[in-house]
Amino acid sequence: MFNLDSVRSQFPILQQQVYGKPLVYFDNAATTQKPLCVIERERDYYLNENCNIHRGVHYLSQMATEAYEHARRTVAAFINAEKAQEIVFTRGTTESLNLLATSLGQMLVNEGDTVAVTAMEHHSNMVPWQQMLKLKNGRLLVIPMDENGIIDIEAYGKILEQKPKIVSIAHISNTLGTINPVKKMVEMAHQLDIPVVIDGAQSIAHHKIDVQSLDCDFFVFSGHKMYAPMGIGGFYGKMKWLEAMPPYQFGGEMVDRVSFEQTTFNKVPFKFEAGTPNVGAALGLEAAVLFIQSLDREAVEAHERMLLDKAREGLEQISGIRFIGNAPERSGLVSFIISGIHPYDMGTIIDKMGIAVRTGHHCAEPVMTFFGIPGTVRASFAMYNTLEEVESFVKAVEKAAAMLR
Ligand code: PLP
């Protein structure tokens, strides 16, 4: 069962006051807080197990190696990858997407080719592709959305007919909260043999992910957005791609045989993990996965959905409010502006009331350009948030709006 009090007790950071007010932490899309089990796992690693991995014959090195590979198996099972080797650890979503743009890009993209992304991507799922394409005189194809933040599937079909070499799409928009129909989009791309990358940064903590059922070619994620430490994340890739793709970075660990004339590379996934990885954080990520799995995930999802619905219901009453992102399929966050009030001013004032929200373009400037706005106020929820917090947030926004008008 999902017991909110017991979940909250795992996150001591939430018990603090800021400016003499109870902290209401609604910036979970930027990063989630970490439960004690995650913090303790990383601490325990440094207290008892710290060692470089895959290299030593001695006891500690073998222990640390086994723990790191165990974490890989846990993450693989969490998203239902067929094999543990299909999980590559990186620093997170951004590094995963840079790796894919470089490595997969180098393999598939030729002079003048294209890559398709949606109009609602985070910069991390756009700029790496854009920069890689520049080197090939290629360009991005942008899958359009409507005013509600819903992907135009018909237009997507037409874009696929232009034969992009790769499709890379957000599962859930970090700005609009839209849940994109990724399974259908994968199916459509596969009819034309086009591989699909899913940016799961905003979905993995909140919804059950099954990469085999999605049938995506790649699925990228960040640990710190799913209750794990910063500096760890990774991606899933189908074995056929991982085996064919060239390495992204070179150095220790990713090699097989090395001479001054030539180098051969290690097998998957080590081929993509050059240098010493963040072992402690990988173990923290495993602890986060076990923590999520220990809860009733449907109950967690229903709780987060309730928070979102109540926040929207409350905010709707405020005059001049405009929600940015009105797709019926949405998750995790509410983004809005209030006429005549700059999002930054709203964020600054409610901060003084103890409420942490994000303001600005949320690393999605083209989305702001599309809606013709400088930014939004974004409140994003996690399992440990409460209805009372939503109510204080709505009251704070009402009060700040009255002050700023
Ligand atoms: N993609 C999406 C949809 C995101 O929300 C974010 C972070 O906000 C990223 C990519 C980048 O993630 P990170 O900064 O953890 O690499």
- From the number of C-beta atoms within 10 Å of its C-beta (0-12, 13-18, 19+), residue 249 rates as middle
10 lines ligand 1 (CB under 6 A): no
Among 185, 148, 166, 27, residue whose Cα is nearest residue 104: 166
Q: How many CB atoms within 10 Å of residue 324? A: 25
Looking from the CA of residue 91, the nearest atom of ligand 1 is 16
SS3 for 166? strand
Rounded to an integer, the average pLDDT of 381-399 is: 98
> What is the rounded distance in angstroms from the CA atom of residue 185 to the CA atom of residue 189?
6
Give pLDDT, residue 2: 85
Q: Please tell me what DSSP assigns to residue 145.
A: B
Q: Give the residue among 318, 312, 336, 313 at the shortest CA–CA distance from 405.
A: 318
Q: Ligand 1 centroid to 94 CA: how many Å? A: 6
Share of the chain above pLDDT 70, in %: 100
Cα gap 391→81, rounded to integer Å:
40
Q: Is 363 a catalytic residue?
A: yes
Given 37, 51, 216, 363, which residue is catalytic? 363
pLDDT tens digits along 282-314: 999 999 999 999 999 999 999 999 999 999 999
Cis peptide before 12 (omega within 30 of 0): no
User: Per residue in 85-118, pLDDT tens?
Assistant: 999 999 999 999 999 999 999 999 999 999 999 9
Identify the residue whose C-alpha is closest to ligand 1 atom 4: 201
Mean pLDDT value across residues 159-171: 98
pLDDT score recorded for residue 329: 96
Q: What is the mean pLDDT of the chain?
A: 97
Give CA–CA dist 250/233, Å, rounded: 19
Residue 55, pLDDT score: 79
For residue 1, pLDDT beyond 70: no
- Site to probe by mutation for ligand 1, drawn from 178, 207, 222, 225 as the one with most ligand atoms within 8 Å of Cβ, is 222
pLDDT of residue 56: 81
Mutate to test the pocket of ligand 1, among 91, 99, 100, 124 (most ligand atoms within 8 A of CB): 124
Report whether residue 118 contacts ligand 1, using a CB cutoff of 6 Å.
Answer: no
Residue 193, helix vs strand vs coil: coil
Q: Would you say residue 143 has pLDDT above 90?
A: yes
d(CA 215, CA 236): 11
Q: Express each pLDDT in 25-73 by its tens digit.
A: 999 999 999 999 999 999 999 999 999 999 788 999 999 999 999 999 9
E-assigned strand segments in 204-293: 218-222, 233-237, 255-258, 263-265
Give me the mean pLDDT over the 20-28 stretch: 98
Full-model pTM:
0.98
pLDDT one-digit tens code per residue, 343-375 = 999 999 999 999 999 999 999 999 999 999 999
